[in-house]
Amino acid sequence: MDMSAKTIIGKEEWCGLPELGLPAIKARIDSGAKTSSLHAFNIHSFEEEGRKYVHFDIHPIQNNRKIIQSCRGLVVDRRDVRSSSGEKERRHVIKTPVKIGEDVWEIEVTLTNRDAMGYRMLLGREAMKGRVLIDPDASFCLGTLEDRDAEKYYSVRPADKSGLKIALLASNPALYSNKRIMEAGEERGHEMRFINIRQSYMNISALSPEVHYRGGELLENIDAVIPRIKPSMTFYGCAVARQFQSIGAFCLNDSTSVTSSRDKLRSLQLLSEHGIPMPTTGFANSPVDTSEIIKMVGGAPLVIKLLEGTQGKGVVLAETNKAAESVINAFKSLQANILVQEFIKEAQGKDIRCFVIDGKVVGSIQREAAAGDFRANLHLGGTASAVKITAEERRIAVQAAKAMGLKVAGVDIIRSKDGPKVLEINSSPGLEGIEDITHKDVAGMMIECIERNLRRRRRAA
Ligand code: ADP
């Protein structure tokens, strides 16, 4: 074989996908990966004259979400691909010519809505076979291009006139969930605004309630607000959300519902009013009742929870009645509010997080406690994996979110011998675990929920 005739390429190169309208895209060349992939979103398949096509959008330039190219490709397969995190994902496979240097040949590419290692495109060994030689220590053997020069190949799609003005009300723009919500909104043509709760202030008056931001800017004409309020900001964050509601913005989660979801006892009372199953729970304030409460919830082993606790902190397992009594009395002497709950031993340290949007479970994951712990919280070293939930679990999760008045909720369910029981409801559920494991664009579904509700509201008006 004549090796010298082949082009040598490095671990990253600029290439083109001419039939997709992508003249310049920076690709990672990785012979360790079998298949090639393209980072795409808004992926929809359709049929035309008996052939299957897929329509998708892509941000061809890294770290630039303003430039969006819409592409259409011929689908040749659906394939299960295992991502670097080990999860299986079913992807569309399209066939399209690739141009590398002066050579053009057809390759198969899978479409996925996650970045491939920070690159918009990953070229695997199947696509490169027999065509080029790869020097894994080199980069851009066929010439470099600055990102801003590559941008000139594309036009910035004009902002969609039907786009909404959406405010994300939160504290930390660097959080995965917040970044994803901002990009999902922008991808759908909306004007996204990150509003830091702490830096907003309000003018509460009967005639013209207002919300102001940093340096005095008046926040007007906001169509919708996505509250992502951390527990320590509940009081002020909900007040700001409420103010936005009073000036006509649609709030993805109603501020009153967010407030009540933050109170564990209030949440359980609401669930119980709606007949939603939950572990037998007791609550009392005076130390005199300690042994009565223990008896009421069926005796040890039982779980004692601090009402103000989050992420599993302040959740204690007492194996004997004696231990339970000491722990309860200790908490009480610290004036801490607690609840006492039957211990669901058969759950074996597992619980299920159901992500509910607009009355539907859009994804669910199972969380399993680290060895030696009974609490499945990921912050405590628990691990998450894919899980299939039953129709009953689905129904209970949806009912629980509805009972709390939440359009978006993370409903934690535990599997007991008497069926599924709701442990807790989170009004700002994290997106990272659920998107990572289910490969679903959950942030996008939150934006679509806003679009749907505003359409409904406008029709009703
Ligand atoms: P937090 O709000 O701090 O996460 P949770 O009530 O969700 O508190 O409890 C944390 C974890 O402890 C749960 O995810 C679950 O794995 C475990 N757990 C909580 N309550 C019980 C219970 N009654 N029986 C068994 N395990 C429980």
The model's pLDDT over 135-146, given as tens digits with 9 standing for 90+, comes to: 989 999 988 888
> What global pTM score does this model have?
0.75
Domain boundary among 218, 253, 288: 253
- Element (H or E) spanning 99, and its range? strand 88-100
Structural domain boundaries enclosing 98: 3-153
Do 430 and 391 fall into the same domain?
A: yes
Amino acid, single-letter form, for residue 313: K
Do 297 and 360 fall into the same domain?
A: no
Given its phi and psi angles, is residue 299 left (phi above 0), alpha (psi -120 to 50 degrees) or beta?
A: left
> What per-residue confidence (pLDDT) applies to 6?
81
Q: In this model, does residue 116 exceed pLDDT 60?
A: no
> What per-residue confidence (pLDDT) applies to 161?
56
Q: How far apart are CA 222 and CA 121, in angstroms?
A: 36
> What per-residue confidence (pLDDT) applies to 434?
94
Q: Which atom of ligand 1 is nearest to the CA of 349?
A: 16
Query: What are the pocket residues of ligand 1 if the criterion is a CB atom closer than 6 Å to any ligand atom?
Result: 279, 303, 305, 309-312, 315, 341, 343-344, 347, 351, 369, 374-377, 412, 414, 423-424
Asked if the peptide bond before residue 301 counts as cis, ω within 30 degrees of 0, the response is yes
Residue 274 lies in a domain: no
Residue 271 lies in a domain: no
CA 384 – ligand 1 centroid, Å: 15
Share of residues in the chain with pLDDT > 90 (%) = 58
Do 302 and 360 fall into the same domain?
A: no
CATH of the domain at 303: 3.30.1490.20
How far CA 74 is from CA of 34, 113, 275, in Å, comes to 20, 18, 50
Q: How far apart are CA 17 and CA 252, in angstroms?
A: 39
Who has greater pLDDT, 58 or 209?
58
Query: What does the DSSP assignment read for 262-308?
Result: T-HHHHHHHHHHTT-----EEE-S-GGGHHHHHHHTTSSSEEEEETT
Q: Which atom of ligand 1 is nearest to the CA of 347?
A: 25
Q: How far apart are CA 124 and CA 55, in angstroms?
A: 23
Q: How far apart are CA 73 and CA 38, in angstroms?
A: 12
Do 8 and 125 fall into the same domain?
A: yes
Q: Which atom of ligand 1 is nearest to the CA of 312?
A: 3
Do 147 and 7 fall into the same domain?
A: yes
Share of residues in the chain with pLDDT > 70 (%) = 94
- Decide if 392 contacts 420 (C-beta within 8 A): yes
Of the listed ranges 96-105, 289-298, 303-312, 358-367, the least confidently predicted one is 303-312
Q: How far apart are CA 340 and CA 202, in angstroms?
A: 39
Residue with the nearest Cα to atom 10 of ligand 1? 312
To the nearest 10°, the Cα dihedral for 145, 147, 153, 154? 170
> What per-residue confidence (pLDDT) applies to 160?
52
Do 146 and 120 fall into the same domain?
A: yes
Number of domains in the chain: 4
Using pLDDT thresholds of 50, 70 and 90, give the confidence band for residue 239: very high
Q: How far apart are CA 253 and CA 353, in angstroms?
A: 18
Chain segment 402-460, per-residue pLDDT in tens: 999 999 999 999 999 999 999 999 999 999 999 999 988 999 999 999 999 999 888 88
Who has greater pLDDT, 240 or 308?
240
Closest among 56, 34, 47, 191 to 107, alpha carbons compared: 34
Q: How far apart are CA 19 and CA 53, in angstroms?
A: 13
Using pLDDT thresholds of 50, 70 and 90, give the confidence band for residue 65: confident
Who has greater pLDDT, 88 or 107?
107
Chain segment 253-305, per-residue pLDDT in tens: 999 999 999 988 899 999 999 999 999 999 877 666 788 889 999 999 999 99
The residues that bridge with 281 in the sheet, in sequence order, are 341
CA 214 – ligand 1 centroid, Å: 39
> What per-residue confidence (pLDDT) applies to 268?
93
Do 369 and 310 fall into the same domain?
A: no
Residue 272 lies in a domain: no
Domain boundary among 125, 153, 181: 153
Of the listed ranges 131-135, 181-185, 234-238, 419-423, the least confidently predicted one is 131-135
Q: How many residues belong to the chain? A: 461
Chain segment 373-387, per-residue pLDDT in tens: 999 988 888 899 999
- Decide if 457 contacts 108 (C-beta within 8 A): no
- For 315, residues 6+ apart whose C-beta sits below 8 A from its C-beta are 303, 304, 305, 306, 309, 375
**Chain mean pLDDT for the chain:** 89
The number of angstroms, rounded, from the C-alpha of 133 to the middle of its chain's C-alpha atoms is 39
Q: How many CB atoms lie within 10 A of CB 136?
A: 11
- Decide if 72 contacts 98 (C-beta within 8 A): no
